[in-house]
């Protein structure tokens, strides 16, 4: 009886960790207000896709985007994976719909497992490659993209920004938030996977370099904010425990 019970518990844990949890998408909604509050925008953040195939979790994300109908979609790095290929990347990226545009910045995996023809892939699917660039959405809103710390993030572009507009920074590794100045009021990052494997009462077992103390959710420094998304895919191990994949929706007044 003891062996049967132990086998059942282990089997359930394995099923939960390898099958159920990596596909159990959580959609988090947050409201934020900045500046004069005369405008509104809805932004969806996707991070750490690590696409290996056009599978269950990818289809769930796309269905959620169809339902949410965001004005902007931002992808904060790590499309790439060691088992991915250009066809599976394209199947997902080609189906992203947004009213005002989709923006992408590099993650560390774009350096570890470079995607051949990445710029052409993004352009083909109407996604703006925003590495070290600024995109004007309207006169009161600018999206600022930075390369990952594995590459060469260029902070000099920040000098062109006004503090009178809402400036949203996109980067992959949360530790880069330490270099973000006060004129970028909101930053969005990923990379941590929320720890990916979180033991109850103990927390995550491990973080990659570049996380610092920014594990998941909201962080504030003086008057600027950072949100760290737990990501969609898995890194290194195909497992999630007590750490659901996440799509984040921001309803912003500015």
Q: Domain residue spans in the chain?
A: 2-253
- Position 72 scores a pLDDT of 98
pTM of the model: 0.94
Q: Judge whether 110 and 104 are in contact, CB under 8 Å.
A: no
Please determine, for residue 36, whether its predicted confidence score (pLDDT) is greater than 80: no
Q: Going by C-beta distance under 8 Å and a sequence separation of 6 or more, which residues neighbour residue 211? A: 173, 174, 175, 191, 192
pLDDT of 5 over the 80 cut: no
For tokens 């005002």, what's the residue? Answer: 100
User: Which run of H or of E encompasses 62?
Assistant: helix 56-68
Give the pLDDT confidence score for residue 174 in this predicted structure: 98
DSSP string, 114-168: --TTHHHHHHHTTEEE-TTEEEEEETTEEEEE---TTS---GGGGGG--TTSEEE
- Give dist(CA 168, CA 166) in Å, integer: 7
**Per the structure block, which two tokens stand in for 156?**
């000099």
How large a percentage of the chain has pLDDT more than 90? 79
Position 227 pLDDT exceeds 80: yes
Residue 3 has pLDDT above 90, yes or no: no
Cα 49 to Cα 52, 133, 210, 236, 253, distances in angstroms: 9, 22, 18, 13, 28
For residue 1, pLDDT beyond 80: no
Multiple choice CATH, 2-253, 1.10.150, 1.10.8, 3.30.499, 3.60.21: 3.60.21
Q: Could you report the per-residue pLDDT of 137-188, keeping only the tens digit for each?
A: 998 999 999 999 999 999 999 888 888 899 999 999 999 999 999 999 999 9
Residue 15 confidence (pLDDT)? 80
Q: How many CB atoms lie within 10 A of CB 27?
A: 16
Helix (H) or strand (E) run with residue 4 in it:
helix 2-15
Residues 6+ apart with CB under 8 A from 105: 75, 76, 77, 130, 131, 145, 146, 147, 148, 170, 171, 172
pLDDT of residue 58: 97
Q: What is the pLDDT of residue 2?
A: 75
Question: Does 13 have pLDDT greater than 90?
Answer: no
Q: What is the pLDDT of residue 4?
A: 74
Instruction: Name the β-bridge partners of 188.
Output: 170, 227
């Amino acid at each position: 009886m003891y062996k049967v019970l132990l086998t059942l518990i282990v089997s359930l844990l394995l099923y939960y960790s390898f099958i159920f949890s990596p596909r159990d998408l959580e959609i988090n909604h947050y409201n934020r207000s900045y500046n004069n509050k005369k405008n509104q925008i809805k932004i969806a953040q996707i991070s750490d896709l690590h696409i290996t195939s056009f599978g269950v979790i990818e289809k769930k994300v796309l269905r959620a985007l169809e339902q949410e109908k965001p004005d902007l979609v931002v992808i904060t790095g790590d499309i790439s994976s060691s088992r991915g290929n250009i066809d599976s990347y394209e199947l997902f990226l080609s189906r992203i719909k947004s009213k005002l545009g989709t923006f992408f910045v590099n993650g560390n995996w774009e350096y570890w497992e470079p995607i051949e023809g990445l710029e052409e892939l993004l352009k083909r699917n109407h996604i703006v490659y925003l590495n070290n660039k600024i995109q004007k959405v309207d006169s009161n809103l600018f999206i600022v993209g930075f390369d990952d710390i594995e590459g060469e993030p260029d902070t000099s572009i920040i000098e062109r920004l006004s503090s009178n507009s809402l400036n949203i920074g996109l980067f992959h590794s949360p530790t880069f938030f330490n270099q973000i100045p006060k004129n970028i009021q909101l930053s969005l990052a990923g990379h941590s996977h929320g720890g990916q494997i979180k033991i109850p009462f103990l927390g995550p077992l491990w973080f990659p370099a570049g996380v610092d103390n920014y594990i998941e959710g909201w962080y504030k420094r003086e008057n600027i904010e950072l949100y760290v998304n737990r990501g969609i895919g898995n890194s290194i191990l195909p497992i999630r425990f007590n750490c659901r994949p996440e799509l984040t929706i921001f309803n912003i007044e500015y």
